[in-house]
Amino acid sequence: MRIAFFDAKGYDKPSFEKYADEAGITIKFYETKLCEDTVTLARGCDGVCVFVNDEVSATVIDMLLEEGCKFIALRCAGYNNVDLKHLNGRMPVFHVPAYSPHSVAEHAMAMLLTSIRRIHKAYIRTRDFNFSLNGMTGFDLHSKTVGIVGTGKIGRCFIDICRGFGMKILAYDKYPADIPDVTYVDTDTLFRESDIISLHCPLMKDTYHMIDENAIEKMKKRAIIINTSRGALIDARALLSAIKERRIGGACLDVYEEESDFFFEDFSNHIVEDDILTRLISMPNVIVTSHQAFLTEEALDNIAQTTVENITAFMNGETLKNTVSI
């Protein structure tokens, strides 16, 4: 069994090599992303292993099938980058439904605290021996209302963390669950009443740009939006306008609509062409991390283990647990 592993980073290799060796799988690591231009690298491989920004479009799918690939193994939870409709079940797609919801939820809280307690500013100030506190006033999370969109695995971990801070919890989910001390409301109410809004739902047709001009209009002037889910849940242009016009308190973004052009790569010696991203990053009340919420040792280990288990189950003709379909 040979697998072409796209968008490989140094931190992926140790855990994948460990589990793949044990399972007798050979992995060919490629730093490049999967797209129409790189799909031929999968020639001679039984399948591909891809991540969030690999492009598994209709054309790429047809080319993978022509190259003889028999499966697509996503080493992430989300699968919005795969054209499942076009694939139409012609080969299985596996994903890793849960690897560490704590990693993402904890990162969301880290970004929130950084933002509201001005830690990003304090870090730079004290390194320059500037011990002034002007402009550093934050606010307590205790007694504030957090609105969680999507109460799945990550949303629930974030709820638990917020409970620890003594926050009141509102939630919206297309499929509400029974969670103690959580009040489900419609999105309008959630936008209107929340001091913090955190997105933990998948990117789909009906969640695309769910935070747009209209939604922001309903929010409190001091509301902070956290997005650790998928960039296109937020209309970044509308968010930037709201930030510039001081209609919103701030944003914590681990994901960005056009992130596939930039995230995971070093652009420190380049001129970044995306004016919305650069303007957002320049704002004192916007924190951007480059899709790193998942990046903990525990999560990397679980991702590699589950991905290799998915492939091994396929190889052995066993029942497949983690397949995704339309």
Binding site for ligand NAI (CB under 6 A): 77-78, 98, 101, 104, 149-155, 172-175, 200-204, 206-207, 228-230, 254-255, 291, 293-294
Return the residue matching tokens 């903990």: 296
What are the tokens at 64? 């993978």
259 is known as an active-site residue: yes
**Least distance in angstroms from the C-beta of 313 to ligand NAI:** 21
- The DSSP-derived string for 34-57 is PSTTTGGGGTT-SEEEE-TTS-B-
Q: Which regions of 55-144 does DSSP assign to beta strands (E)? A: 71-74, 93-94
Catalytic residue among 213, 259, 270, 279: 259
**Least distance in angstroms from the C-beta of 157 to ligand NAI:** 8
Catalytic residue among 127, 291, 298, 318: 291
What are the tokens at 249? 């308190």
The answer to whether 101 and 157 are in contact (CB under 8 A) is yes
- The DSSP-derived string for 259-274 is GGGTTTS--TTS----
Q: Which of 319, 123, 111, 63 has the alpha carbon at shortest distance from 228?
A: 111
Instruction: State the Cα–Cα distance between residues 52 and 26, nearest whole angstrom.
Output: 22
Instruction: Tell me the helix, strand and coil percentages in the chain, rounded to 5.
Output: 35, 15, 50
Determine the 3-state secondary structure of 234 from DSSP.
strand
Residue nearer to ligand NAI on the CB measure, 118 or 153: 153
**Least distance in angstroms from the C-beta of 326 to ligand NAI:** 14
Residue nearer to ligand NAI on the CB measure, 38 or 302: 302
Residue nearer to ligand NAI on the CB measure, 59 or 305: 305
CB proximity list for 92: less than 8 A, separation 6 or greater: 71, 72, 314, 320, 323
Q: How far is CA 87 from CA 61, 84, 268, in A?
A: 7, 5, 37
Catalytic residue among 142, 230, 257, 297: 230
**Least distance in angstroms from the C-beta of 203 to ligand NAI:** 6
Kindly give the pairing relationship between strand 93-94 and strand 182-184: unpaired
Residue nearer to ligand NAI on the CB measure, 71 or 172: 172
- The DSSP symbol for 8 reads -
C-beta nearest to ligand NAI: residue: 152
Residue nearer to ligand NAI on the CB measure, 118 or 291: 291
Instruction: State the Cα–Cα distance between residues 250 and 100, nearest whole angstrom.
Output: 27
Residue nearer to ligand NAI on the CB measure, 150 or 249: 150
291 is known as an active-site residue: yes
102 is known as an active-site residue: no
**Least distance in angstroms from the C-beta of 121 to ligand NAI:** 24
**Least distance in angstroms from the C-beta of 206 to ligand NAI:** 5
Hey, what amino acid is at 270? Answer: H
Active site residues: 230, 259, 291
